[in-house]
Amino acid sequence: MLQAIGLTSNPRRDRPPAVDDLTFEAPPGCVTALVGADGSGKTTALRLMLELESGRGITYFRGNPLHRIAHPAREVGVLLGDVPGHPARTARGQLRMLCAAAGVPASRAEELLEVVGLAGLGGRRLGTLSLGMDRRLGLASALLGHPQTLILDEPAKGLSPRESSWLYGLLRAHATRGGTVVCTTSDPKEAARLADRVVSLNAGRLVADQDAAAFSRTRLRPRVAVRTPHAVRLAAAVTREARAARRSVEVVTEGSSLLSVYGSSCAEIGETAFRHGVLVHRLTDEVGDTGPATTTAPPPAPAPATSSPALASHGEESAPPAPRATRHPAPHPPPAPSLPRPVRSPLRPLRYELRRLLGVRTALLVAAAVFVASAALCVLLARSGSTPLPTALAAWPEFLPLPPAAFGAGLLGALSFGEEFRYPALAAARGTVPRRLGLLLAKLAVTAMAALLLAFLTVAADVQALRLVYGGDLAQVPQNWPALASSWGGLAVGCAWAGLLAAGVFRVTAAGVAAVLAVPVLIAPLVQATLVAPSVRSIAGLPGRLRELAWLQLPWQADNWLAAGGSLLAQPVGAALALSLSALICTYLFTGLRRSARW
């Protein structure tokens, strides 16, 4: 059971709210359709129900508001628009990644590919899917967690009749199994044909809440659609004959060549056109929409047909008014204001993050570009003979702010959060990426592993490039390789984390890249100016003093690692990285805690 109570969106400047005090229920085992013209507030109503839009009111899903449900993906499946995944990701990879987010086995992805008819297209990339395939994949994403309730916005919009029939058949099967289905449509005939209950909206307000039979009786009426180049002549002829026969016939001129005639038949209209010599291009029976009004007024006095959309009735007899759809008061007192809340973090964040990183070729392309650039720079730097071997292996000439490996690690870190906001993958259409500790730790761990792997594979590739070009005598292992390795790994991980945190704070990849470049370009010169200032104090003997303060007795080999870490922080770039990471972590936590406090 879904209960929406008093949903009201915030007013938009000088305009009324898009949704105003909307209350309705969607029982289990039924398909409930929200119908209304474009701009009537259907999509905003769904977003208010999902707590994605700020406003008042509350929606209960089997007695619980969405923000009180531990695992929303297992209670509510959502499809709002297209699948917002990375266009280079495959359909199977997208579903497996969302399986980790929903906490369901990866085998569920294969099951749903079979259910939605995409079993043979799991390897297709999202950017190559047709509209019908995209809707099928979106429906599979909504069904991942075995949800009780499905909420869909215009699911059949733009689909062929065959695709629409299949989609609504799947929704009907979900309702038959006891599920709740809420969808929107702008076509009243489609709502009457496919839904069990129809909720009519107009200008954000509830107009009627009826079963499908009552909706068809009060909203839809049979008509004859006529297309003719002489619409005015035919309308006048139908009007005269209906008046003479004292029959109630209503004529509406829809356009310069289209007429809608209510209360007549194709045979009668065709005979009238033949008698008056009017050419007819199209003559068919249809079901017409009487508009969002819930009552049908008796036909007015006879009047000649006009080109306005008002109905012109003929004859002295009038049809009785249709039953008025009453609006039931809300069963509960007005609820407290409801604000949008973030979705839950992935239930298996590490598996989710690995699938996110490896699901597209971006990481491989970045690594390939780093290897090529580093090998070329390494060979050029070693050619002069004056460049120290560690600098050559790092491929870090003086004119570059960072070596290619460090910049590539920073780019991977920036993409870790940046792609989440550009191509949101967490519970499609359920809001922005959540700032949860589990997801952050998973991203930090995966980007650190990727940065270390990239850094040391780059050095290995540079060593092989030097041996290939200049022979094996040049690439000798330095004596202080542990300190150099720790400094090199720390630089790569620091750049990756700086890019990740900056992209998470500012929600864009470019901000992460800018933060990585700002470390050597802006912050390092300031740190260097501070370090070269005259000083009368020295930190010599710091490892020993730290050992005295420690509760645990560390091995003496730890002094070498502490000294290496201290020497790394003593370097301008290392100190700048430490300062940048400290500031970004504080900013990330501050913004995340402030956002959580609001909710």
Q: Is 534 exposed, middle or buried (0-12, 13-18, 19+ CB in 10 A)?
A: exposed
Query: How confident is the model at residue 15, as a pLDDT?
Result: 84
Strand bridging mode 55-61 / 2-9:
antiparallel
Q: What are the structural domains of the chain?
A: 2-217 (3.40.50.300), 219-322 (3.30.70), 349-598 (no CATH)
pLDDT digits (tens, 9 = 90+) for 342-374: 444 577 889 999 999 999 999 999 999 999 999
Neighbours of 586 (CB within 10 A): 11
Query: How confident is the model at residue 316, as a pLDDT?
Result: 32
Query: In the chain, which stretches have pLDDT less than 50?
Result: 293-344, 428-432, 596-599
Give the predicted TM-score (pTM) of the model. Answer: 0.75
Q: Supply φ then ψ for residue 346, to 5 degrees.
A: -55, 140
Q: What is the C-alpha to C-alpha distance for residues 192 and 454, in angstroms, rounded to an integer?
A: 59
Q: Strands, DSSP E only, in 10-54? A: 22-26, 31-35
DSSP secondary structure letters along 120-165? GGTTSBGGG--HHHHHHHHHHHHTTT--SEEEEESTTTT--HHHHH
Amino acid at 260: S
Q: What is the C-alpha to C-alpha distance for residues 180 and 148, in angstroms, rounded to an integer?
A: 6
Query: How confident is the model at residue 143, as a pLDDT?
Result: 93
pLDDT digits (tens, 9 = 90+) for 196-217: 999 999 989 999 999 998 888 7
